[in-house]
Chain A
């Protein structure tokens, strides 16, 4: 991986089980889609690292080429790209995001009845 931004992204998603690349931060999201994505993870009680792409223009573009995905937010679990806001919402509503978190052995506080 020669692109230094791609290398930095790879390092971040390797070192953290759950990473959300977003506009703004969990506490101060600066886009409705990013806010929704962060809320979903908070609902599941999954600890995650939020990365604010607005702080770094190269990262903001680099994350799109890294995943071949045109929009932000972007969710990574155990180094794997899962999807953006729509996919997170669909998976959350279908219970699939919770299943994924369980399958990957990531500790979380929310449990389905």
Chain B
């Protein structure tokens, strides 16, 4: 069962309310997404922790119903 862009965005924003999220549907099938997430919550964290925050927000869907999410994270510029 694929996940829509708005559902992915909604879930991420529940944990990272200030996030700006750019989603790209890589295969046009609502199932292979690229997400670029920018949030102040990432400041000072190694990439692995930044990605874990996003995965936490997705609540176990990553690797399950969300088959493929190519993730990049960044801190907003000052």
What's the Cα separation between A82 and B46 when bound, in Å? 9
Indicate if the CB atoms of B62 and A82 lie closer than 8 Å: no
Q: Is the interface of A mostly helix, strand, loop or mixed?
A: mixed
Interface size on B, residues (CB 8 A): 12
Residue contact B72 to A70, C-beta cutoff 8 Å: no
Known: A69-B52, A70-B55. A87 touches B47 (CB 8 A): yes
**Do most interface residues of chain B lie in helix, strand or loop, or is the interface mixed?**
mixed
Contacts of A64 in B (CB 8 A): 63
Which residues of A have CB within 8 Å of B64? 70
Q: Which residues of B contact A81 (CB under 8 A)?
A: 48
A interface size (C-beta, 8 A): 13
Q: Which residue on A lies nearest to B52, using beta carbons?
A: A68
Distance (Å) between the CB of A28 and the closest chain B CB? 21
Q: Using a CB–CB distance below 8 Å, which chain B residues touch chain A?
A: 47-48, 51-52, 55, 60, 62-64, 70-72
The 9 A-B pairs of least Cβ separation, nearest first, read A70-B63, A70-B62, A83-B48, A71-B63, A87-B47, A86-B71, A70-B55, A86-B70, A83-B47
Return 12 A-B CB contacts under 8 Å, by A number.
Answer: A64-B63, A68-B52, A69-B48, A70-B62, A70-B63, A71-B62, A83-B51, A86-B72, A87-B48, A87-B51, A90-B72, A91-B47
